[in-house]
Amino acid sequence: MVKTWFITGTSSGLGRLLAERLLQRGDRVVATLRHEGALDELKQRYEDRLHVLTFDVTDIRAVHSNITAAFEAMGRIDVVVNNAGYGLFGAAEEVTDEQIDRQIATNLTGSIQVIRATLPHLRRQGGGRIVQVSSEGGQIAYPNFSLYHATKWGIEGFVESVAKEVRPFGIDFVIVEPGPTSTQFGAGLDHAVPMPEYDDTPAGDVRRAIASNSFAIRGDAGKTVNAMIVAADSAHPPLRLTLGGGACDSIRAALAERLKVLEAQKDIAFSVDSIS
């Protein structure tokens, strides 16, 4: 059965590759991007099966108007892929207020508004699926990515709550958590101006690893996109889909450590309950 997909952030990376693979298999795609022209080649090849919209997810009015137009034009949208985003690289003290505002506006508020804009249409059509592209960074944290992690941890909490709200309407979610993957994520990083005070800290270690290309990238973009499509096609996908061996190991270790700390606090936790 031919499906219709709505995908944000399709000019490069996972979003672009996802659009290509879906069009190749015969689906219809509404692809969004910030700058015109990035999908001209695909548009010439697939014509009426590719519908391109140009807007920035930080423009809330444009998000809502374009999503309404997309549902009206396509009749039905089966899967919404919330993919637009980028990384802000720098210690918390190094990044500027403007960089913080843009990171949150794009990765967190933008993603929230895309979801909010699609929910009324999905509810009226009797259901649908939203795939939220997060990261292993929605479960773990690296130095120098504090604001990026803030957005990914934030959107995962938002989605987990909303998923419970809209389940009765036949709307479900998949949160995709890839580890470091061979995309253009690194090239798109917004870098803070380094402070020498952080040279001999974990933040400095990560900065040097990024600069020397020694930061381990194990994920294959093509395999990652294929796994996302399989999950989106599945009748009962998991709420969270971790992709990459490194991501799986890192998240498992983080969760195990949190559980260990929680269990050690059990007596203190229960000690503050009121006694009935």
pLDDT digits (tens, 9 = 90+) for 196-226: 999 999 999 999 888 877 666 677 889 999 9
Catalytic, 234? Answer: no
In sequence order, what are the residues at sequence separation of 6 or more whose Cβ sits closer than 8 angstroms to the Cβ of residue 184? 12, 13
pTM above 0.75, yes or no: yes
Q: Which residue among the candidates 3, 152, 198, 250 is catalytic per the annotation?
A: 152
DSSP string, 101-149: HHHIIIIIIHHHHHHHHHHHHHHHTT-EEEEEE--GGGTS--TT-HHHH
Nearest to 10 by CA among 2, 21, 1: 21
Which residue is it, tokens 């693979």?
Answer: 21
Q: Give the CATH number of domain 4-244.
A: 3.40.50.720
Catalytic, 142? Answer: no
Structure tokens of 36?
């015109």
Write out pLDDT tens, residues 231-254.
999 999 999 999 999 999 999 999
> Which residue type is seen at 225?
V
Buried b (16+ CB within 10 A) or exposed e, 200-230: eeebbebbeebeeeeeebebebeebbebbbe
Q: Which residue among the candidates 46, 142, 148, 198 is catalytic per the annotation?
A: 148
Average pLDDT of the residues in 131-152: 95
Catalytic, 134? Answer: yes
C-alpha angle 13/39/186, rounded to 5°?
20
What residue segments make up the domains of the chain, in order of their start? 4-244
pLDDT higher than 90, residue 180? no
How far from chain centre, in Å, is Cα 62? 20
Q: Which residue among the candidates 134, 135, 146, 250 is catalytic per the annotation?
A: 134
Q: Where are the alpha helices (DSSP H) in the chain?
A: 13-24, 40-46, 60-74, 97-103, 110-124, 146-166, 202-211, 221-233, 245-264, 266-271
Compute the distance between CA of residue 145 and CA of residue 149 in angstroms, rounded to an integer.
6
Compute the distance between CA of residue 162 and CA of residue 89 in angstroms, rounded to an integer.
29
> Which residue type is seen at 248?
C
Compute the distance between CA of residue 219 and CA of residue 178 in angstroms, rounded to an integer.
8
Nearest to 106 by CA among 141, 76, 133, 139: 133
Write out pLDDT tens, residues 7-65.
999 988 899 999 999 999 999 999 999 988 888 889 889 888 999 999 999 999 999 99
Which residue is it, tokens 């700058």?
Answer: 35
